[in-house]
Chains A and B, each alone.
Chain A
């Protein structure tokens, strides 16, 4: 054990890793702070830069962007009532009123403290629970992985929000696109149409960039130029340790809520932030002040939001199944470096995983440092007009898209998928299910076919043991709950507002 930790430490402790993590957290904070830029977009833009890096360095860079993004959204949420990320829309409920009262600095400080603490708790849970789950997953074969991935695909409902049917349609399109290339068993062509570039299938990075970055850029042409609100003064007061102690119960509760919800695929930061906020309001002595500038509200929202960060990596590292869009991208990054997260990685690359754990723990400290030093800088950067920002992002996309395989065809794929993504954006069809299905689809089909080869075509292999039966039961329960909640939500909204 000591030898393993030493090996992991030597793998982690390098200037490249320390710098990559720092840069990643900074980029993520910036991306999260800018309204209109999303954390998946930030991760997509950074991903091509990781190709030539060591796997640990590249993954830490991406994780830094993820964690920075979770916090960064709160900066503009508090300062100009424009949350940079969906989860930060809970933070603005009390953060913006505090800014209006001249207490922006206090709100930003408390948001930072709560974020860092929750992130730390989430990282601890990742380290403690992942190994246990991975050792259980060693018992998995193709039928078990197939049923697990079927269950995981129900997370598509979670990332679809209230657009369940459209989410399923989006996922179906992602699954189809993932079949392009050569058939794995018979070697015949699927949807290649004589184009040799398509024989290896579509690379996931041009698809990712095309789906998440390009549509927003193209959509700028639909909008008239508008001036964004300018952030006011930060105010003189800081959040004190006494205030942190006063809010500690809400921060701890929000962190635990974030860990539990983050470990469940598909939930994400938004529900966690709102649940943490509502619980804090319910139990607080100052509940009447919530919504009017209550610092405990800011603390609870940010704790819930950031508590998911480490926990979403649990299903990814232990089972090889992503919990949300970002971890789906990180799964792709692992694969690009020839690594396959899951129980096998725990056997073959344990030192690498421990090195990642060390980096993840350090990211909480970096988040604190960057948050403290750069609030003023990032609040100014968020004033960059979209007329300059988006063309710059486009050029980043193009360079990144080309760099994958030194192939101009990838740029063409990116543009075509970008058009599809833009159509989906305008038609209110969620893009996240498309990407998750695109990544999980090949795994699903491969395990399905391997299982059938093992059983010589008999479908009973998918019910061969308790693990398979449990996942089928969970899938059925998940679908039942999703459909029931979806129907209830549509009834409550009424017929005027439809969002299939």
Chain B
């Protein structure tokens, strides 16, 4: 079984596992079912259970299809990756993606203190730099202009207030 098929089997098993956890754990914990329901199909948990069953079946089909296909396939020959861009090695890729995701949540926390304009400017600077851009003559104007333009549009044109954090005093 090549890496591709192993991944597909794992995806199928994961989907079925999520469905099982949903059925036995999340739905009982997450849905309040009244005692006096006369028609089962009208129960608040009926529809979510149907969907979990569909997810479980789909997951099983994905895993089974991948398993049977792997039996006839070349175990060393995964499907060619026709992606034209080159990706970082897996360890570097994972590190970079985790960094990006962590930064998003730091940004979210930062909005409460620093406001959306300052945080957006900072995230533009950091993201462009990490992605490989080195020309500060493009990075800095973008980091300054875009958040400010959007701020003025939403606040003064669309009349949607935007959080400024500690800079509320400037409003």
**Measuring CB to CB, which residues of chain A are less than 8 angstroms from any residue of chain B?**
49, 51-52, 165-166, 168-169, 171-173, 175-176, 179, 183, 185-186, 188-193, 218, 220-226, 385-388, 390-392, 394-396, 398-399, 402-403, 406, 408, 411-412, 415, 418-419, 422, 427, 429, 445, 448-449, 452-453, 456-457, 459, 490, 494-498, 500
Contacts and interface: CB of A to CB of B under 8 A. Distances in A.
A47 to B, nearest CB: 13
B20 interface: no
Interface in B120-166: 120, 123-124, 127-128, 130-133, 138-139, 142, 146-147, 150-151, 153-154, 158-163
B127 A391 contact: yes
11 contacts: A52-B158, A169-B62, A218-B101, A392-B142, A403-B162, A406-B160, A418-B104, A427-B7, A495-B72, A496-B79, A500-B66
Contacts of A429: 11
Contacts of A183: 31, 44
B101 A399 contact: no
B48 A391 contact: no
Given A52-B160, A391-B124, A406-B160, A222 B154 contact: no
A391 B131 contact: yes
A173 B142 CA distance: 37
A3 B71 CA distance: 69
B97 A415 contact: no
A188 B33 contact: yes
B17 interface: no
A498 B4 contact: yes
B85 A179 contact: no
B124 A223 contact: no
Contact of A223 (B7, B29, B41, B85): B85
Interface string B1-31: 0001101100110010001001000100111
Interface string B30-62: 111110011101101101100110110011011
B158 A49 contact: yes
Contacts of B154: 399, 403
B97 A221 contact: yes
Main secondary structure of the interface of A (DSSP, over half): helix
B167 interface: no
The B interface, classified by DSSP as helix, strand, loop or mixed, is helix
A428 to B, nearest CB: 8
A494 B105 CA distance: 43
B12 to A, nearest CB: 7
A169 B44 contact: no
A402 B116 contact: yes
A408 B70 CA distance: 46
B171 interface: no
Contacts of A49: 153, 158
B140 to A, nearest CB: 11
Given A176-B52, A500-B65, A449 B42 contact: yes
A173 B55 CA distance: 7
Nearest to A386: B131
Contact of B42 (A168, A391, A453): A453
A500 B58 CA distance: 10
B79 A497 contact: yes
B123 A395 contact: yes
A390 B127 contact: yes
Given A188-B33, A222-B93, A388-B128, A403 B61 contact: no
Interface residues on B, range: 35 or more
B47 to A, nearest CB: 5
Of B31, B127, B158, chain A has the most CB atoms within 10 Å of the CB of B127
A37 B40 CA distance: 45
A137 B113 CA distance: 52
A395 B124 contact: yes
4 nearest CB pairs, A to B: A225-B132, A495-B72, A387-B133, A172-B55
A207 B127 CA distance: 22
B61 A500 contact: yes
Nearest to A426: B97
Contacts of A391: 123-124, 127-128, 131, 142
Given A176-B48, A412-B108, A498-B5, A457 B39 contact: yes
Given A226-B85, A411-B108, A449-B42, A388 B58 contact: no
Given A190-B48, A398-B120, A452 B69 contact: no
A224 B127 contact: no
Given A225-B131, A388-B138, A165 B123 contact: no
B150 A221 contact: no
A394 B142 CA distance: 13
Contacts of B41: 448-449, 452, 457, 459
B55 A221 contact: no
Contact of A188 (B31, B47, B70, B97): B31
A395 B120 contact: yes
Contacts of A412: 108
Contacts of A396: 150
Contact of B38 (A51, A165, A457): A457
